[in-house]
């Protein structure tokens, strides 16, 4: 297997340029490698703000201008493509619907699956491009049989393979990640951008959810779903307090519960369950969050689907640690058992399986099994 899946020929590459430093350096590296690169900024908001709020948000008018200036410095053509309607339907509305259903989604995975490597890639291929280039930190490796595999980035500290676990082999065959093979710090990437004359060298990274620029997720959901008062109860069903919308809570949450009655043992309580049917939030002790197994649906395999039970490692959050598991794909469901109990696992999250550094695939958590009866 080779570490670089890029064929030794000049490719027509469409570089997705967000206006940030990573995507700018990725586009520059692709051009420096001899590829015929065209930059494109995705307009994902119907009403983009003129300026971002600090390091929050993206896809603003400012970001579009930053991407255009970077393309000019690199010396590549540049366009802005309007995918706002597709983004609203496939990412934003999905995000709202998942929270309304009591689940905790990851919009970055959905964006990679539906926008960057579906809508964008399909349009790129239709226009005669060979690949889409992004600033993600991950690697595509070419197997002996010609198939592609997705692997973790060389630098584990910046690895972003978790949010790319939704890509199938066809999409991987047309994906370029120029930053994934280099073990460099973010400071070194910024220094490279400065050497290349890219003005985004010192631009702060965007974080949180890109379409919620002020970072107030609960406020955003309230504006979409309205206030819906319900009960906060303990494991026995006793009412401890009220809330203004069950969608404003996540499994494992400790802060912001506004429970006046202390627990009998004086220890903090955590969100154990969210029931949209009766608009109830159940809280309890930390140990009640211990999950021993889960069932996940809507799998996306980065290659061939696994057959039979096998040992893997699993990652449950974008910046979470790996944990040993046994997993099996049965009747269109991924069934995962943990070697040691884990906490903070919520329906709607993605579980991504790894075989060493290779990404096996991703699936959406539908249900969990806990050691405590409150599960």
Q: Which residue is catalytic, options 58, 59, 133, 210? A: 210
Alpha-carbon distance 348 to 99, whole Å?
Answer: 9
**Those residues with Cβ within 8 angstroms of residue 186's Cβ, 6 or more apart along the chain or in another chain:** 158, 205
Backbone angles phi, psi at 325, to 5 degrees: -145, 165
Backbone angles phi, psi at 48, to 5 degrees: -65, 140
Cα–Cα distances in Å, from 127 out to 119, 120, 227?
A: 12, 11, 46
Is 133 an active-site residue? no
Tokens of 97: 């619907």
Is 302 an active-site residue? no
Burial of 143 (0-12, 13-18, 19+ CB in 10 A): middle
Tokens of 54: 């600090």
Alpha-carbon distance 329 to 362, whole Å?
Answer: 12
What is the residue whose two structure tokens read 């490692």? 313
- String of b and e for 40-74 (b: at least 16 CB within 10 Å)? bbbbbbeebeeebeeebbbbbebbbebbbbbbebb
Alpha-carbon distance 183 to 135, whole Å?
Answer: 14
The 3-state DSSP composition of the chain as helix, strand, coil percent (nearest 5) reads 30, 30, 40
- Locate all alpha helices (DSSP H) within 101-250, ordered by sequence: 107-111, 120-126, 169-172, 186-195, 217-225
Q: Which residue is catalytic, options 58, 108, 111, 133? A: 111
Task: State the CB neighbour count (10 A cutoff) for residue 222.
Answer: 16
Alpha-carbon distance 230 to 279, whole Å?
Answer: 5
Active-site residue list:
111, 210
């Amino acid at each position: 297997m080779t570490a670089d899946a890029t064929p030794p020929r000049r490719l027509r590459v469409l570089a997705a340029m967000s206006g940030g430093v990573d995507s700018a350096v990725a586009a520059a590296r692709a051009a420096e490698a001899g590829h015929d690169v065209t930059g494109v900024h995705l307009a994902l908001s119907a009403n983009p703000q003129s300026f971002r709020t600090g390091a929050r948000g993206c896809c603003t008018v400012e970001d579009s201008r930053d991407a255009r200036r970077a393309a000019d410095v690199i010396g590549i053509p540049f366009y802005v493509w309007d995918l706002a309607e597709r983004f609203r339907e496939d990412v934003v509305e999905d995000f709202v619907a998942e929270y309304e259903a009591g689940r905790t989604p990851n919009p970055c995975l959905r964006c990679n699956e539906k926008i960057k490597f579906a809508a964008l890639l399909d349009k790129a291929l239709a226009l005669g491009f060979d690949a889409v280039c992004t600033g993600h930190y991950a690697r595509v490796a070419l197997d002996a049989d010609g198939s592609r595999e997705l692997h973790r980035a060389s630098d584990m500290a910046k690895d972003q393979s978790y949010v790319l676990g939704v890509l199938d082999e066809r999409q991987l065959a047309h994906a370029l990640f120029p930053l994934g093979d280099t073990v460099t710090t973010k400071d070194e990437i910024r220094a490279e951008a400065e050497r290349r004359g890219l003005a985004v060298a010192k631009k702060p990274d965007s974080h949180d959810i890109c379409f919620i620029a002020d970072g107030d997720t609960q406020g955003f959901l309230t504006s979409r779903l309205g206030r819906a008062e319900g009960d906060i109860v303990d494991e026995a069903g006793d009412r401890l307090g009220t809330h203004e919308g069950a969608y404003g809570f996540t499994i494992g949450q400790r802060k912001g519960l506004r429970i006046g009655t202390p627990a009998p043992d004086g220890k903090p309580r955590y969100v154990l369950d969210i029931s949209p049917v009766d608009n109830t939030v159940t809280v309890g002790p930390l140990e009640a969050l211990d999950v021993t197994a889960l069932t996940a649906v809507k799998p996306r395999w980065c290659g061939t689907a696994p057959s039979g039970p096998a040992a893997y490692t699993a990652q449950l959050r974008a910046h979470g640690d790996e944990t040993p598991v046994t997993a099996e794909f049965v009747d269109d469901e991924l069934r995962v058992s943990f070697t040691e109990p884990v906490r903070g696992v919520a329906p709607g999250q993605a579980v991504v399986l790894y075989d060493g550094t290779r990404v096996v695939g991703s699936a959406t958590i539908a249900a969990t099994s806990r050691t405590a009866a409150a599960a």
